[in-house]
């Protein structure tokens, strides 16, 4: 058994992808949310693409007087391209294109109207209240740099500047495996001694949240099914960048995942980590025809696998998907409740980071065992407690990884 620290495990996994370059594809804006831009996205047009009115009012061809004849009324999306002479005005709505002959927009609140004639009641300097063409950017300007995660706001900018296809890194292809005859899915009959497969509904969404294209398969770990399941995993793993599994990596009689990985030709990187919870772990790599597939075998216990997933899998997924920063932010907090655990190895405690009177507070979950489940519903941070640290009282300072 090769036991390593979490730092060494990460170093070995990082080394397994020394020169990985994510593939680039062009997708529609509807497919791009959360993806990472592979190239700079530029403006396809000026923005705004025409002179426009910032509010409802009257576009005028200004002159020395304050009386104007209204020659047209237009709404947004309608263009008035007729002449507008001195002493004439066009009624327009917010966002309308200002007619070429007009040099000023008068807010409707500054106007008295009778029939087709208006009188301006306030002093408006010529040239006022017109948003110029290209005020925010010109065609060809970089609006979203390469390496940017496409949020809803970024997509709005890309579409608003005329982009129909967006260059993004291809999603990492991940095979996600759960393991164990004790697991049943919702809707299946649960017999005594069995539990629902909560990991399937924890990690497939998390993998997708971090940009993966996920294939799911369940391994029973039954000896009479092992050969068939090895063949199934081998077939499903062929084009994958990463394999993530939960369960079957400890020292039990039916912990078969390392055996399955060995059958795939995996080279073991480690098979245990000095941390709690999450020490039961397997790292490996398969190299076939120049293609490398990383393997992360995680504990079957929900809390343990949750920790290892965020500490090991998320940085890899971010690299595979082209993100430049693969790390979570670290915040120095004060403990909202004491942590009485002894720490013979590095410990990562699940809990919630909140702010009270402007100060960050970390409140640990009530149950801190590796098999704890309920706390995952509100966990948003992991407190890092170094090996050898004594139990910590309420109010003690602590470093927290904000998820």
Determine contact, residues 52/96, Cβ cutoff 8 Å. Answer: yes
What is the predicted pLDDT for the residue at 288? 82
In a domain, 129, yes or no: no
163 lies in the same domain as 174? no
In a domain, 51, yes or no: no
What is the predicted pLDDT for the residue at 369? 87
In a domain, 30, yes or no: yes
Phi, psi of 312 (to 5 degrees): -115, -50
Phi, psi of 319 (to 5 degrees): -65, -45
338 lies in the same domain as 262? no
DSSP string, 113-148: EETTEEEE-S---TT-S-BPTTSSB-TT-EEE-TT-
214 lies in the same domain as 265? yes
290: domain CATH number? 3.40.980.10
In a domain, 298, yes or no: yes
190 lies in the same domain as 208? yes
In a domain, 78, yes or no: yes
In a domain, 309, yes or no: yes
Determine contact, residues 218/178, Cβ cutoff 8 Å. Answer: yes
What is the predicted pLDDT for the residue at 325? 81
159 lies in the same domain as 116? no
94: domain CATH number? 2.170.190.11
Determine contact, residues 158/150, Cβ cutoff 8 Å. Answer: yes
State the total domains in the chain. Answer: 4
Work out whether the CA dihedral 365, 371, 373, 378 comes out positive or negative: positive
Closest CA to 399 of 370, 372, 360: 360
161 lies in the same domain as 174? no
Domain enclosing residue 97, as ranges? 57-120
The whole-number mean pLDDT for each consecutive block of 10 residues of the chain, a chain of 403 residues, reads 90 81 89 94 96 96 88 94 94 96 95 95 93 96 95 96 96 94 88 91 95 94 87 93 89 73 93 92 89 92 95 94 88 96 93 96 93 93 96 96 96
In a domain, 130, yes or no: no
In a domain, 45, yes or no: no
Residue that finishes a domain, picked among 108, 136, 169: 169
274 lies in the same domain as 163? no
């Amino acid at each position: 058994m090769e036991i390593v620290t979490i730092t060494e495990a990460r170093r070995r996994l990082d080394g397994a992808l020394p020169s990985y370059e994510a593939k680039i594809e062009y997708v529609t804006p509807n497919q791009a949310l959360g993806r990472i831009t592979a190239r700079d996205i530029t403006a396809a047009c000026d923005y705004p693409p025409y002179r426009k009115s910032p509010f409802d009012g009257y576009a005028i061809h200004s002159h020395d007087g304050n009386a104007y004849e209204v020659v047209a009324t237009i709404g947004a999306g309608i263009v008035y391209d007729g002449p507008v002479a001195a002493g004439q005005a066009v009624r327009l709505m917010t966002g309308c294109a200002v007619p070429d002959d007009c040099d000023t927009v008068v807010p409707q609140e500054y106007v008295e109207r009778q029939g087709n004639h208006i009188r301006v009641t306030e002093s408006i300097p010529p040239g006022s209240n017109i948003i110029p063409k290209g005020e925010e950017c010109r065609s060809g300007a970089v609006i979203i740099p390469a390496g940017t995660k496409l949020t809803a706001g970024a997509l709005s900018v890309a579409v608003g500047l005329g982009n129909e296809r967006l260059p993004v890194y291809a999603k990492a292809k991940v095979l996600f495996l759960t393991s164990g005859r004790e697991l049943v899915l919702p809707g299946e009959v649960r017999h005594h001694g069995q539990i629902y497969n909560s990991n399937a509904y924890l990690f497939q969404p998390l993998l997708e949240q971090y940009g993966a294209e996920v294939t799911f398969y369940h391994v029973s770990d039954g000896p009479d099914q092992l050969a068939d399941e090895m063949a199934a995993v081998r077939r499903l793993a062929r084009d994958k960048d990463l394999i993530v599994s939960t369960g079957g990596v400890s020292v039990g009689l039916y912990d078969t995942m390392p055996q399955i990985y060995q059958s795939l030709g995996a080279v073991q990187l480690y098979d245990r980590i000095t941390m709690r919870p999450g020490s039961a772990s397997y790292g490996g790599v398969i190299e076939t025809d120049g293609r490398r597939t990383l393997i992360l075998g995680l504990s079957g216990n929900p809390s343990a696998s949750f920790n290892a997933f965020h500490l090991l899998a998320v940085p890899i997924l971010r690299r595979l998907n082209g993100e430049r920063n693969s790390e979570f932010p670290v915040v120095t907090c004060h403990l909202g409740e004491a942590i009485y655990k002894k720490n013979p190895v590095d410990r990562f405690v699940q809990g919630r980071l909140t702010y009270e009177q402007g100060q960050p507070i970390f409140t640990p979950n009530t149950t801190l065992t590796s098999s704890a489940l309920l706390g995952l519903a509100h966990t948003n941070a992991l407190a890092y407690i170094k090996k050898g640290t004594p139990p910590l009282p309420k109010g003690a300072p602590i470093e927290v990884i904000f998820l």
